[in-house]
Amino acid sequence: SRERIVLGIESSCDETGVGIVRIRHDGTLELLADEVASSVEEHARFGGVVPEVASRAHLEAMLPTMHRALGAAGVALKDVHSIAVTAGPGLAGALLVGVSAAKAYAAALGKPLYGVNHLAGHVAADTLEHGPLPSPCLALLVSGGHSSLLLVEDLAGKITEIGATVDDAAGEAYDKVARVLDLPYPGGPPIDKLAKQGNGCAIAFPRGLTGSRDAKYDFSFSGLKTAVARWVERCERSGEQVPVADVAASFQEAVADVLTAKAVRAAKDLGVDTLVISGGVAANSRLSALAAQRCEAAGIHLRVPRPRLCTDNGAMIAAVGAHLVAAGAEPSGLELATDPGLPV
């Protein structure tokens, strides 16, 4: 079959991403460009993503990012076969910027348009580094906005959420705990660094939902965040110095423990032999080390894409688009709507 080029646009949160992939003759994907403009610094002083600020940043960054991606890939718009865009889940105003841009390009160029689920994108990111995924496989998606366990039977269609957080996302817990410890936003990288100097067994923070049978694949991080805040307050009230490195390491251990224990348990229960971890929190050093250890012990093949592909980007959206094109899926058409709460 003919080689086809798919362009992907991502704007669901605070990164404006444009990625370009080529579907090779053998059906595998080649990453041609992955350009991202982030507004994370504009949100830092608020300690979290401000939707209006994100939307405006997407509007400003969309065209320059598009041009950078086309330039990096050495591709002309006329050579693009189809356009994929994140339709949800995400911030309503932010999604509208990407979908409007994608519609404008699709209409002006007369190319097919595909609405893509952001979560499918995070899973598909791994295929750009490690090749096709076996079916079925299990995906643990951990970012600032999501913490889900997905059973992936087909990237172009069949993905089932078997578990999710009932409150905060894992990355959100990192960001909130960072605030408690007076560390900068986003909190993941500074906590990860500080934790290396601390003892992860120093404080026994709670492991949410590990005892309950009916939520065996679900997560809860808000109790953990509260427990850390209480612990720090107690130290401060009694005039003790807060052992910040031990707090960071113990918090990090609790998160990594719950995530890996539930993912490995789900893989075993469902008889799945491959686990993919993606999303911004997949960059966490303790999470990947513990996942590697527990997967090896359970005979599960672990795949973690490089950090650049774990965080939000347009290439992962192009990858899902490529799977849809290769599967002969029906394009969405220009009436494509955004859906901030789009389920998988």
Bind-site residues: 118, 122, 141-145, 175, 188, 192, 284, 312
Q: Are 252 and 199 in contact (CB under 8 A)?
A: no
300-339 positions binding ligand KG4, by CB under 6 A:
311-312
Binding-site size, ligand KG4 (CB under 6 A) = 19
Stretches 50-58, 159-167, 274-282, 327-335: which one binds ligand KG4 (CB under 6 A)?
274-282
Q: Which of residues 310-329 bind Zn ion (CB under 5 A)?
A: 312
Q: 341 and 174 in contact (C-beta within 8 Å)?
A: no
Q: Is 283 a binder of ligand KG4 (CB under 6 A)?
A: yes
Among 121, 186, 305, 321, binds ligand KG4 (CB under 6 A): 186
Distance CA 279, CA 305 (A): 9
Which residues within the stretch 9-38 sit at the binding site for ligand KG4 (CB under 6 A)? 13
| Closer of 35 and 312 to Zn ion (Cβ) | 312
Q: Which of 55, 127, 143, 274 binds Zn ion (CB under 5 A)?
A: 143
**227 - beta bridge partners?**
none
CB of 11 to ligand KG4, least distance (A): 12
Contact 181, 247 (CB under 8 A): yes
Residue 136 binds: one of Zn ion, ligand KG4, none (C-beta under 5 to 8 A by kind):
none
C-beta closer to ligand KG4: residue 174 or 205: 174
Is 189 an interacting residue with respect to ligand KG4 (CB under 6 A)? yes
User: Do residues 49 and 135 lie in contact, with contact meaning Cβ atoms separated by under 8 Å?
Assistant: no
Per the annotation, binding residues for substrate are: 141-145, 175, 188, 192, 284
Position among 171, 198, 321, 331 found at the interface with ligand KG4 (CB under 6 A): 171
- Torsion sign over Cα 173, 309, 158, 264: negative
257 binds ligand KG4 (CB under 6 A): no
Minimum Å distance from CB 145 to Zn ion? 6
- The full DSSP string for 241-269 is PP-HHHHHHHHHHHHHHHHHHHHHHHHHH
d(CA 272, CA 269): 8
Annotated binding site for Fe cation: 118, 122, 312
- Grouping H, G, I as helix, E, B as strand and the rest as coil, residue 274 is strand
In the chain, the N- to C-terminal Cα span, in Å, equals 30
Among 16, 284, 332, 338, binds ligand KG4 (CB under 6 A): 284
Within 140-169, the residues that bind ligand KG4 by CB under 6 A are 143-145
d(CA 305, CA 126): 5
Least CB distance to ligand KG4 at residue 330 (A): 28
Question: Cα–Cα distances in Å, from 64 out to 54, 94, 243?
Answer: 16, 17, 45
CA angle 120, 123, 127 (to 5 degrees): 120
> Which of residues 5 and 18 has its CB atom nearest to ligand KG4 in the complex?
18
Q: Does 198 bind ligand KG4 (CB under 6 A)?
A: no
Q: Which residues of 239-254 are buried (b: 16+ CB within 10 A; e: fewer)?
A: eeebbbbbbbbbbbbb
Sign of the C-alpha dihedral computed for residues 59, 60, 64 and 65 taken in this order: negative
- The residues that touch Zn ion, with contacts defined as CB under 5 A, are 143, 312
- The residues that touch ligand KG4, with contacts defined as CB under 6 A, are 13, 143-145, 171, 174-175, 186-189, 192, 279-281, 283-284, 311-312
